[in-house]
Structure 1
Amino acid sequence: MNWNGKDVEVYLKEQQFIDTAVVPLLPISFGTEMKQAASQGEFIDLLSMHLERQFKGRMMLFPALTYLTSISNEQKMDMLQSWEVKLKESGFTHIFYLTSDSIWREQGEIAKQVIWLPSVPLEHMDEQYKHSILEDQVKQLINIIVQQWQTIK
């Protein structure tokens, strides 16, 4: 399910079956790091959409949590923890954060829910090759998510 009116309407009717939330984590930067942040964002956005298609009816793909790279890690964690609380209050038992920003791998307990993938620069790739790479990445994500579903019941 995507974050749009039609899918949210279905979610509201069927939410007992939709127990997984996916939130992309996207850095925003200016200056010399801007291109890298934009490439990471493009990769994670496309990857998230491919993943959602695989799990439609079990997973809700939320809009990305975007943050400035210049703010402190503590501020980033505060933002993420606010999301975490609301998602849990809404009944999501499985929450995954997708990112290519390595800072999230070092953030204590929440790091268990962060799926970090190195960004693949997609801007110069042929569309067919781009989607092939994304599908390969999604296969890896599927394994990770299914393992988590089996351990957290």
Structure 2
Amino acid sequence: MKWVSNDIDMYLGAKEYVDTVVLPLLPISFGDDIKQSASMTEFISLLNIPLERQFKGRLMMLPGYPYLKSDSDDRRLQLINHWETEFKKYGFKHIFYITSDSDWRSLEEKLEGTLIWLPSLPLESMDDKYRNQILEDQISQLIHLFVKKWQNND
């Protein structure tokens, strides 16, 4: 389910079946790495659409969570811990974070949720057929990761 009013109506009618929340982590930088941060955001956003479609009724796909690349690790953890508290308060058993920002990997053990890091690919320089194939391959791997996590924790 997406964070749109029609899907929220569906969620409200079937909350007990929606046990998973996905929060895409999207870096924002206006410095020398501005293009890289935009590329990461684009890549993760393109993956979220089919992932949400595949698991509609089981997961809530939140809008991307933008954060400043210049934020300290402590600041990032403080904000994410607040999100995790809210997720658990409302009954989400499984919390996933999806990002292309490798900085999160050093914080992974401090998160209660599952971090999925995917290296960003330069999609703008690929032809459409190759780009779509790469996205399909990544989505297939994501689907496998979600199912595996659910099987191990249910």
| TM-score band, normalised by shorter chain | over 0.9
In structure 2, what is the Cα distance between the partners aligned to 1:34 and 1:111?
A: 29
Aligned to 1:45: 45
Shift of 1:111: 7.4
- Distance 1:83-1:47 versus aligned 2 partners, 3 A rule: same
Partners of 2:52 and 2:60 within 8 A in 1: yes
What letter is aligned with 2:89?
Answer: E
SS of the residue aligned with 1:23? Answer: strand
Residue aligned with 1:98, SS? strand
Is there any run of 5+ residues in structure 2 with no aligned partner, and where? Answer: none
Partner of 2:96: 96
State percent identity of aligned pairs: 50
- Determine the structure 2 residue equivalent to 1:85: 85
- Structure 1 CA distance for aligned equivalents of residues 113 and 23 of structure 2: 14
Q: Deviations over 1:108-153 (max 9, x none)?
A: 2317610000001111333343222111101111111111101112
Indicate the larger mover: 33-42 or 72-81.
72-81
Query: Are the structure 2 counterparts of residues 72 and 109 from structure 1 closer, same or farther at C-alpha, using a change threshold of 3 Å?
Result: closer
Q: TM-score, normalised by structure 2?
A: 0.94
Q: Distance in 2 between matches of 1:130 and 1:54?
A: 20
Aligned residue for 2:121? Answer: 120
What is the aligned partner in structure 2 of residue 5 from structure 1? 5
Match of 2:66 in 1: 66
Q: How many residue pairs end up in the alignment? A: 153
- Whichever residue aligns with residue 29 of structure 2, its letter is S
Could you list the structure 1 runs, at least 4 aligned residues long, displaced by more than 6 angstroms after superposition.
none
Preserved CA contact (<8 Å) 2:84 2:113 = no
Note the residue ranges of structure 1 that are not aligned, 5 or more in a row.
none
Give the distance between the partners of 1:20 and 1:92, measured in 2 at CA: 5
Distance (Å, rounded) in 2 between the aligned partners of 1:34 and 1:100:
14
| Map of 2:147 onto structure 1 | 146
Deviations 1:65-110 (A, max 9, x none): 1110111011011111111111111111011000011111111231
